[in-house]
Amino acid sequence: MTSLIETENIGKTYGSVIALSDVSTVVNAGEVTCVLGDNGAGKSTLIKILAGVHQHDQGSFKVEGEEIKFSSPREALDHGIATVYQDLAVVPLMSVWRNFFLGSEPTTRFGFLDSKKGKAVTRKALSDMGIDLRDVEQPVGTLSGGERQCVAIARAVHFGAKVLILDEPTAALGVKQAGVVLKYVAQARDRGLGVVLITHNPHHAYPVGNRFLLLKRGRALGSYEKSEIDINELTRQMAGGAELEALEHELRGVEA
């Protein structure tokens, strides 16, 4: 079976800044590939390449076995790659259903918006994902952060995404809300989507992930299958391993 997404030694430079280099990973259907790394590790650059916002300038990027270079997010969407960004998942002042259909609005024969269908489909799609909203006409801004992410995830699933890229979906959320979002990530995975989960929290990544790609300063620090690594080792690597131990030592020195 060919992977949904496969990158090989992919890289990107902005002028003289090397944002990403030599990163290889795969995303398979029904699996979650987690991308972990600290701020500035190149996570955003990687997903922006996958999502069609930026173009890579080294290595190869294959979608379903076919070498590709997206020129716009629309093109990535047309290939079934949907991205949910941390802060910009939705338009806060617009209603839930209008957000849900944004960019793929249902129209009647005469070219007008079919709001009745829009609302019904939105309600159905959300409840299929187990999201229970009181009113699909309320502005998305009145939803909690977790609910907004869920709306965005349900939207991607509904519109037939094959690959779902989630940029720090749990970053700004409380413990409980983060758990809810992770539940929907697992649900999307079980529906056969390939998921790319970007996070800097190994405790969020480990329970749902099948594969872990660790990035640091634009390079791959390591790529592991779940069977090859446990949560403690993942956390240790993420935090910078030896560096953290040195820092801990230093901090103890301050205390004393």
Contact 248, 240 (CB under 8 A): no
Minimum CB–partner distance for residue 226 and other proteins (Å): 30
Parallel/antiparallel/unpaired status of strands 163-167 and 81-84 = parallel
Q: Burial, 168: exposed, middle or buried (Cβ in 10 Å; 0-12, 13-18, 19+)?
A: buried
Please, which residue, 143 or 238, has the CB nearer to other proteins?
Answer: 143
Minimum CB–partner distance for residue 41 and other proteins (Å): 21
Interaction site with other proteins (CB under 8 A): 51, 53, 73-74, 77, 83, 85, 88-94, 98, 101-105, 107, 111-113, 115, 127, 132-135, 137-139, 141-147, 155, 172-174, 177
Which CA distances in Å does 41 have to 142, 210, 247? 33, 21, 19
Please, which residue, 103 or 241, has the CB nearer to other proteins?
Answer: 103
Please, which residue, 60 or 177, has the CB nearer to other proteins?
Answer: 177
Minimum CB–partner distance for residue 135 and other proteins (Å): 5
Please, which residue, 24 or 177, has the CB nearer to other proteins?
Answer: 177
Contact 218, 20 (CB under 8 A): yes
Please, which residue, 85 or 206, has the CB nearer to other proteins?
Answer: 85
Angle of the 115-128 helix axis to the 145-158 helix axis, nearest 10: 110
At a CB cut-off of 8 Å and minimum separation 6, what does 197 contact? 32, 33, 34, 35, 166, 169, 185, 204, 205, 208, 209
Q: Which of 163, 168, 153 is nearest to 37 (CA)?
A: 168
Minimum CB–partner distance for residue 255 and other proteins (Å): 33
Minimum CB–partner distance for residue 126 and other proteins (Å): 10
Please, which residue, 84 or 234, has the CB nearer to other proteins?
Answer: 84
Minimum CB–partner distance for residue 162 and other proteins (Å): 16
Cα–Cα distance, 56 to 34 (Å, whole number): 20
Cα–Cα distance, 217 to 53 (Å, whole number): 20
Q: Burial, 86: exposed, middle or buried (Cβ in 10 Å; 0-12, 13-18, 19+)?
A: middle
Minimum CB–partner distance for residue 83 and other proteins (Å): 6
Please, which residue, 100 or 212, has the CB nearer to other proteins?
Answer: 100
